[in-house]
Structure 1
Amino acid sequence: MQHDDKLLQANLPDALQSAIEEIDGAFDVPKQLLQADVSSFESLECCVFAYFARDDVFYLNQKGRELLRRKQPRFEPQTQSPPPLFWLEDDSNLQAADDFVASRQRPIFETRELVTLSWGKTWLHGSKFPIRSVLGQPLAILFAGHEVPPSQQIKLVAEHYQNAQHGTGNN
């Protein structure tokens, strides 16, 4: 491990790092992650979710569930139902970060994720970590981060759609 990685890891909460260490390298196949003890992630003060692929999120911690409930539109009745359905934006830049983490087997400490809810989108800023099998093969990706402040959300949305338009060509 390079010295730069050690400095970046020092900025992560110790509880997050130890929670990741509990599941990283502990399972043989992806399906076993569904039975993993995730209690260490539940009390963290950041949104944590794990996914096998961008369209296959299999875990969302308590802080993430609170974020999604809080973001639910006020005109809908508040019930004790499960968190609203969300998915990760299908975007080549965001997918490239996932590919880097999986192929290099190394975390990215400064990245963003665009979460899409049934009624809108919100940006998160944080880190992505590989979750590996006992043999060191990539099983999943874990994201841990916080919602970007509202003042920066509009700027990020504008940049996101401007970058997406560059790939479509001119008429």
Structure 2
Amino acid sequence: MSQLDDTILDALTHVTFPKGFAQAEPAWVVTVDGVDYPLWQTDALVVGSGAAGLRAAVELKRRQQNVLIATAGLYMGTSACSGSDKQTLFTAATAGNGDNFTKLAEALASGGAMDHDTAYVEAVGSLHTLGGLQYLGLELPEDRYGAILRYQTDHDEAGRATSCGPRT
């Protein structure tokens, strides 16, 4: 991984963000008991405008999907408010560490917030997602052969984590 000069990081990260976003117009309005309810039609609804939500919206739009983002406001999500100077990314680790997609899916679903099928899709897609971020220019710590360096976090028996930063 190369070391960037702080002036380059400042130029990339200290940018003027838009103050708002275009508000989607409802496709129609339904009135029930005298109350108007706006209804929208979309191919994909993304909930939240943090790093993950905006990344999902970009990828969906790239695939020619009509995307609607539901958010309380820009720059107010977990990514912006975490107080951290880096992001931790998780993907399936190598078989050498005793990992595979099924084991990662089991770990993801073990908390009860995700069913096993969804967890498996997340596990399989984790490597493609990480590769997509690298394609967009995200630098990750690598060894001299280009393998992404990993470390172990809480509830991670295989060393699935890597970090990027600063100021992601």
* TM-score, normalisation: structure 1: 0.27
Relative to total residues, which structure has the larger strand share, 1 or 2?
1
* TM-score, normalisation: structure 2: 0.27
From the CA coordinates, give the structure whose radius of gyration is larger. 2
